[in-house]
Amino acid sequence: MLPLARGIYSNLLQITRNGRVAIHTASALRCKAATEESSVNEEEKEAEADSAPDGKDRTKVIPVETSIRYLKSDAYKTTYGEEHVWTQYRRNHKGMYAPRKTRKQCIRQGKISTGNPCPICRDEYLVLDYRNTELLQQFISPYSGQVLSYSKTGLCQKSHLRLTVAVEQARDCGLITYDVPFREYDYAEYYGKKEEQKK
């Protein structure tokens, strides 16, 4: 029964690939990708869990290694393609102009509390961590090297804070390179005044 359902799912996915729906429905596909890599036993357990799925539950902690693997997997590629994780996301708001700030948080009490969670919160396999550089790079401007604003990426305030912390840590660890400010040396300070006179 289940494989059949999955087949239908993937067909549906291909039909609506470019639409926003594709991203929302992708979580089932991702579960599949994750379980394929783990052992068979776990897959059975997952299948049992799938019988009563709660797509909004976020209590399970996903390790960073899984997230890093996920970003390289086919499941990720079918979901997002070559684009950044935030490019397809659109904020919901009433009226012409969006509120200046995004919402405070998407996840309350271990559950998604909104219908349109932010790009990081909607996909539980995107883990913000300083080791997950591939994900962090998507949120850094290629022109100015700064972290992109939440008005552009649509991240909720909590995710944005975690993102900035992770980027700063990754820079500190040297996992993300950036252009270090130029330091001009005054040679006279290091070589003494004798050299100065010679020149």
Partner 1 sequence: MSLFRHIRKLNALQNVRQLSSAGLKSSTLQYATDPQPQFTDAETQQLLQSMTQLQLDKVFRKRTVPDNSVHTQFMTTAQLEKEFLQTIEKAQQLLQMPPVVKIKEDTERIISKDPALKDFATTKYVFTDITFGLPQSERKVVVRDVDGTLSYATLDITKRMNQLYFPLDGRKFYTPRMFSDEQLFQRCLDEHKYEFILDRLTVQYEPYEAEFHNISAKVFEHLNESKQFDQLRSTRHFGPMAFFYAWHRCIDDLLYDMIRRDYLLNAVQLIALSYKIHKVPLDYQATLRQLEELQPSPAVKALAELRSGLRQHQAKGIENEIQTAIGKTETDFQADEISLRFIEQYIGSEHALKKVQLELAVQTLKELNLEKQQLYEGLKKAHGVQQQAS
CB 43 to partner 1: min, Å: 34
Contact of 164 with 147, CB cutoff 8 Å: yes
Query: How far apart are CB 192 and partner 1 at their closest, in Å?
Result: 9
Question: Residue 195 Cβ, how far from partner 1 at the closest point, in Å?
Answer: 6
The residue ranges that bind partner 1 (CB under 8 A) are: 141-146, 161, 164-165, 168-169, 172-175, 177-191, 195
For partner 1, which is the closer residue by CB, 47 or 173?
A: 173
User: Per DSSP, what are the bridge partners of residue 107?
Assistant: 112
Q: What minimum distance in Å lies between the beta carbon of 149 and partner 1?
A: 13
Among 171, 164, 159, CA closest to 131: 171
Q: Which lies closer to partner 1 via its Cβ, residue 31 or residue 147?
A: 147
Task: Enumerate the β-bridge partners of residue 57.
Answer: 111
For partner 1, give the closer residue by CB, 79 or 133.
Answer: 133
The residue among 90 and 193 lying less far from partner 1, judged by its C-beta, is 193
> Residues 35, 84: contact at Cβ < 8 Å?
no
Q: Which residue has the tokens 């994780």?
A: 85
SS3 57: strand
